[in-house]
C-alpha cells in the first residue's frame, strides 16, 4: 500500500468520527433534547419557623454547631418538652429554654417610658388606651412592661424582652428599687411615717419599704417612698391601712434611671452604659 493510500484511509477514519459528533448535534437541532432526571419539588419554607439550632444561635448563646451538641444532650426544651431531634423547627411564639433559661432570637431591647395619666399598663387588647400604644413605634421586638403603674398613675415604666432583667426586678429579695413621689389627701403624720419606715403587718403580712421621707420644700402630704415591689398596689395597701387616700402617684426613678430628658408620654432606648449598670444592680 502506498503512503498516499494510507493517508486517505486515516482521513476517512477521522471524517467518520466527525460525522458521529455532527449526528448528535443534528439530533439536538431537531429538538430531541436529552432526557433529564426528575427531581422532587422542594417544600417551601415557612417564614414563621426556623431551625432550633439557628434560634439558639440568634439568641447569642452559642454557635449553631454548639447548639446541635447541646440539643443532642437534652439541654433544650420547647414548650416544656425536651427536644433532641436535629433539624427540629420552632416558631417565634414557642417557649424555648436553654439549660432552664428562656431565650429569644430577638436582640435584647430596653425602652424607658415616661407614662402619662389615662393609659393602662397591660399588653391585653380591648382595655382602651394602653402603654403598648405609646411604645408601638419603639421597636419590632416583643417587649413587655416590667411591673405596673395604675391607669391614673404617671412616671417611669421599663419595657424589655430580656427575661434576665425581668427576673432581676421580680425577685422579691433582690429586686430593683423604684422611687415614687406620692401625694396624699392630707398631711402624713410623723408617727405614721415612722411606722411605715419601720415596717408593719397588714393581714398578717409584713409590709416594708426601702426608704420614706417628706419631700423637701413641699407640704407634708407629699412623700418620697422607695420600694422594690414591681407594682404600686403596695402603696395603696400601706396608705389605706393608715387611713390616707392617694391623690397622685409618680414613679420618678427606677434604680439609676430617671426621667431626665424624657417628656411625659415619650420614651427612649437605654444606652449601653445604662443597660450594663442595670444588669449589675
Residue 97 belongs to domain with CATH number = 3.10.290.10
User: Residue 42: inside a domain, yes or no?
Assistant: no
User: Residue 40: inside a domain, yes or no?
Assistant: no
The DSSP bridge partners found for residue 111 are: 159, 269
Give the domain extent around 137.
110-166+260-280
Total structural domains within the chain: 3
User: Residue 145: inside a domain, yes or no?
Assistant: yes
Do 53 and 184 sit in the same domain of this protein? no
pLDDT in tens, the chain (281 residues): 444 444 444 444 444 444 454 544 454 445 455 555 554 444 556 667 889 998 888 887 888 899 999 999 999 999 999 999 988 999 878 999 999 988 888 788 999 999 999 999 998 888 899 999 999 999 988 899 998 899 999 999 999 988 888 888 887 667 889 999 999 999 999 999 999 999 988 888 888 899 999 999 999 999 999 998 777 788 999 999 999 999 999 999 999 999 999 999 999 999 999 999 988 87
User: Residue 23: inside a domain, yes or no?
Assistant: no
| The model's pTM | 0.68
Per-residue CA distances from 106 to 54, 58, 137, 206, 272 (Å): 12, 7, 16, 39, 17
Residue 244 belongs to domain with CATH number = 3.30.2350.10
Cβ 199 vs Cβ 191: under 8 Å:
no
Coil, helix or strand at residue 214: strand
Cβ 204 vs Cβ 157: under 8 Å:
no
Do 241 and 208 sit in the same domain of this protein? yes
User: Sign of the CA dihedral 24, 26, 27, 28?
Assistant: positive
Do 96 and 115 sit in the same domain of this protein? no
Residue 124 belongs to domain with CATH number = 3.30.70.580
Amino acid at each position: 500500500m502506498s503512503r498516499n493510500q494510507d493517508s486517505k484511509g486515516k482521513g476517512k477514519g477521522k471524517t467518520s468520527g466527525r460525522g458521529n459528533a455532527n449526528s448528535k448535534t443534528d439530533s439536538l437541532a431537531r429538538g430531541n433534547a436529552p432526557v433529564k432526571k426528575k427531581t422532587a419539588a422542594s417544600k417551601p419554607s415557612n417564614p414563621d419557623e426556623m431551625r432550633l439550632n439557628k434560634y439558639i444561635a440568634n439568641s447569642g448563646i452559642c454557635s449553631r454547631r454548639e447548639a446541635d451538641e447541646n440539643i443532642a444532650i437534652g439541654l433544650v426544651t420547647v414548650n416544656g418538652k425536651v427536644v433532641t431531634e436535629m433539624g427540629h423547627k420552632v416558631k417565634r411564639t414557642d417557649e424555648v429554654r436553654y439549660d432552664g433559661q428562656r431565650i429569644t432570637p430577638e436582640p435584647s431591647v430596653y425602652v424607658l417610658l415616661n407614662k402619662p395619666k389615662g393609659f393602662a399598663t397591660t399588653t391585653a387588647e380591648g382595655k382602651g388606651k394602653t402603654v403598648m400604644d405609646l411604645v408601638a413605634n419603639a421597636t419590632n421586638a416583643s417587649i413587655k412592661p416590667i411591673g405596673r403603674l395604675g391607669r391614673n398613675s404617671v412616671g417611669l415604666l421599663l419595657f424589655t424582652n430580656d427575661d434576665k432583667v425581668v427576673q432581676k426586678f421580680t425577685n422579691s429579695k433582690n429586686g430593683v428599687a423604684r422611687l415614687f413621689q406620692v401625694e396624699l389627701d392630707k398631711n402624713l403624720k410623723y408617727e405614721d411615717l415612722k411606722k411605715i419606715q419601720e415596717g408593719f403587718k397588714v393581714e398578717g403580712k409584713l409590709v416594708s419599704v426601702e426608704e420614706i421621707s417628706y419631700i423637701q420644700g413641699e407640704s407634708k402630704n407629699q412623700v418620697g417612698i422607695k420600694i422594690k415591689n414591681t407594682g404600686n398596689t403596695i402603696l395603696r395597701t400601706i396608705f389605706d391601712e393608715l387611713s390616707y387616700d392617694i391623690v397622685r402617684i409618680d414613679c420618678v426613678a427606677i434604680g439609676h434611671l430617671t426621667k431626665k430628658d424624657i417628656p411625659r408620654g415619650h420614651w427612649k432606648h437605654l444606652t449601653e452604659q445604662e443597660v450594663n449598670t442595670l444588669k449589675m444592680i
